[in-house]
Amino acid sequence: VTPLLDVVRDSVRAEGPITFARYMELALYHPEHGYYAGGAPRTGWNGHFVTSPELDPAFGALWARAAETVWRACGLPARFEVVEVGPGEGGFAAAFLGAAPAPLRAALAVTLVEPIPALRARQRRRLEGLGDVRWVRDLDAIGRVEHGCIFCNEVLDNQPVHLVERAGGRLREVMVDAAPDGSLRLAPRPPAAFVVEWMGRHRIHPPEGARAEVPVAAERLVGRAARALARGAVVLVDYGTSGERNAAGTLLTYGAGGPGADLLADPGARDITAHVDWRLVSGWLVDAGLRPAGPRPQREVLKALGARDLERALAAESHSARGARVVRALSRRQALAALLDPAGLGGLDVVLGCAGIPPPAFMADQRDGDRP
């Protein structure tokens, strides 16, 4: 029994069955007992899973090259803002600041969007002395970004979703209820009018027996990021699909022992994710006046940004260095291989929303993109 189970039960007692989106919000972000807000590191070697920026600084360094490209496309403005939403343990910002080339650094203003105090404190410690960084609690507080990049790595798949299914010819919203014995159970109910309207507008029509997710919060997040940006790029990296539908939906949970399909298991002690539907995301970017590029696999984008040069430099170092530096170079080579592995982190997708600039070359499809 997790402390969050009591929170959910209290909520159900007070309001009746709650939407899956409300359940997911409590399970991940309840200020005391939520999976991300509870204080324990979740991403990285001390957490439950390793994300690209926590695996190796190569990720942040390669994205610093991408930011330089965007800065150039904007006409080398004197001030260039890099905003990161959901920085987790701060690995991306640390590597990015460490690797940004001097001319870009001189123009750089970094903002981290972090609502969770425990995470903000760890990020502050990790980034101390690395450059000028400001923190805001909410994306709405970043203000207008005249020139810049707004990054979200593995943030969209953690946005609460409503869950719907079609059974007996009828659309149902899957709610979370408490059983008489106090355990949680899924309970279908007639859907709220705004959920039906949203699904109609986005042409989401699950067939009989199938479930679908309604990512209202992701739409809000993408819209806010896109509308804040006057010129530059919104960069979204996540696990996604391009409209292909799985009858069971894409919701999964992750804990210390790996993935699980029981969405109600150990609330607050497990991550809950839903794949991002890139067709929807592209539509939201267009609605906000941006030009979408991608999805392109992360492995191809990182290669286009120079992952191979880095690989060669690490290979040379592992051959010529001595002692601990050899071990470090060898383990970094393995980390880089994992970032490019189609079955691993290389299988993440990248989508850009371009504001007032053409899609950068690193997002262009190249036939030999997958050539080793």
Ligand X SMILES: C[S@@+](CC[C@H](N)C(=O)[O-])C[C@H]1O[C@@H](n2cnc3c(N)ncnc32)[C@H](O)[C@@H]1O
d(CA 94, CA 86): 14
- Closer CB to ligand X, 53 or 292, in the complex: 53
Extract the tokens encoding 322.
Answer: 């001595």
Beta bridge partners of 355: 232
Burial class (CB in 10 A: 0-12, 13-18, 19+), 98: middle
DSSP state of 208: T
Half-sphere exposure (CA, 13 Å, Cβ side) for 118? 14
Among 56, 68, 81, 154, binds ligand X (CB under 6 A): 154
Site track for ligand X across 174-213, x = CB under 6 A: ----------------------------------------
Q: Which region among 50-58, 175-183, 189-197, 249-257 touches ligand X (by CB under 6 A)?
A: 50-58
Task: Give the CA distances from residue 105 to residues 108, 144, 177, 196, 348, in Å, rounded to whole numbers and listed in that order.
Answer: 5, 20, 51, 47, 28
Residues 216-235 contacting ligand X, CB under 6 A: 221
**24-27 long-range CB contacts below 8 Å, 24 or more apart?**
24/160, 24/161, 24/272, 25/160, 25/217, 26/267, 26/268, 27/267, 27/268, 27/270, 27/272
Return the residue of 11, 69, 123, 158 that touches ligand X, per CB under 6 A. Answer: 158
Q: Least distance to ligand X from the beta carbon of 208, Å?
A: 33
Among 11, 19, 43, 253, binds ligand X (CB under 6 A): 43
Stretch that binds ligand X, among 9-17, 46-54, 241-249, 348-356 (CB under 6 A): 46-54
Which H or E element spans position 68? helix 58-73
61: contact with ligand X by CB under 6 A: no
Q: 241-260: which residues touch ligand X (CB under 6 A)?
A: none
Is there a contact between 354 and 225 (Cβ–Cβ < 8 Å)? no
Interacting positions 70-99 with ligand X (CB under 6 A): 85-88
Query: For ligand X, which is the closer residue by CB, 218 or 363?
Result: 218
Range 104-133, binding ligand X (CB under 6 A): 113-116
First to last CA, the chain: 48
User: Stretches 18-26, 51-59, 289-297, 314-322: which one binds ligand X (CB under 6 A)?
Assistant: 51-59
Helical pair 216-228 and 20-29, crossing angle rounded to 10 deg:
60
**CA 155 from centroid of its chain's CA atoms:** 2
Distance in Å, CB of 200 to ligand X, minimum: 26
Q: Which is nearer to ligand X, 43 or 282 (CB)?
A: 43
When binding is defined by CB under 6 A, the residue of 36, 71, 278, 284 that contacts ligand X is: 36
Strand partners, 147: 231
Size, binding site for ligand X by CB under 6 A: 18
Q: How far is the CB of 287 from ligand X (least distance, A)?
A: 19
- Alpha-carbon distance 354 to 142, whole Å? 18
> Which span sits near ligand X by CB under 6 A: 48-56, 60-68, 188-196, 274-282?
48-56
Nearer to ligand X, 45 or 193 (CB): 45
Which residues would be at the binding site for ligand X (CB under 6 A)? 36, 43, 51, 53-54, 85-88, 113-116, 153-155, 158, 221
